[in-house]
Amino acid sequence: MHETELRKHRCCFTGHRPEKLKIPEKRLAELLEAEIKRAIDSGHTTFITGMAKGVDIVAAEIVLRLRAQDPRLKLICALPYPGFGQHWFGGWTERFQQVLAWADLERTICPAFSYASYQIRNEWMIRHSDMVIAVFNGEPGGTKNTLDFAKKNGVQCVIIDE
């Protein structure tokens, strides 16, 4: 299958880290699961996560749980640079490692850390997706930049306004 056709079945995630979220994780998971199920119903079977704390990891965990009942589903983990996610507190590194262990594909986008590597990773996800599910509170930052890039590139944006 050609990349253009594959892209029609891919959906990525963007959203805030836990400290910027205004809703509890349980509610976040409920909202994300509803949108992921809608994406599946519309033909999306491959999901791409940037693996950051918060929205990315929660969404990835939902996809993995749903994949247990629907083997068509695939999860791609797009890491901004080698070693990303290995030094977090509060159980996030352990959750990160669990998701990586069960993912269908791990892709490291940049060869080394740089502040730009996050946006480069986000743009890579958008370029390989037909839809983005975002949890966005309106504040400037990486989530807004990713949504702006998606809109500029004609990628459908589903926004969970928390």
pLDDT of 55 higher than 80: yes
- Tokens linked to 111: 């060869």
Question: Token digits for 59?
Answer: 């969404």
Beta bridge partners, 159, equal 134
* 75-128 pLDDT per residue, tens: 999 999 999 999 999 999 999 999 999 999 999 999 999 999 999 999 999 999
Residue 75 has a pLDDT of 98
Residue 69 buriedness (CB in 10 A; 0-12 / 13-18 / 19+): exposed
Q: Report pLDDT for 57.
A: 98
Summarised one tens digit per residue, pLDDT across range 134-157 is 999 999 999 999 999 999 999 999
The mean pLDDT of 53-69, rounded to a whole number, is 97
What is the reported pLDDT for 5?
Answer: 75
Asked whether residue 1 carries a pLDDT value surpassing 70, the answer given is: no
pLDDT digits (tens, 9 = 90+) for 8-30: 899 999 998 888 888 999 999 99
For 38-46, what is the mean pLDDT? 97
What is the per-residue pLDDT for 119? 97
In this structure, what are the phi and psi dihedrals at residue 50, rounded to the nearest 5 degrees?
-85, -5
| Predicted pLDDT of residue 19 | 86
**DSSP of the chain, one letter per residue?**
--HHHHHTTEEEEEE--GGG--S-HHHHHHHHHHHHHHHHHTT--EEEE---TTHHHHHHHHHHHHHTT-TT-EEEEEESSTTTTSS-STTHHHHHHHHHHH-SEEEE-SSS--THHHHHHHHHHHHT-SEEEEE--S-SSHHHHHHHHHHHTT-EEEEE--
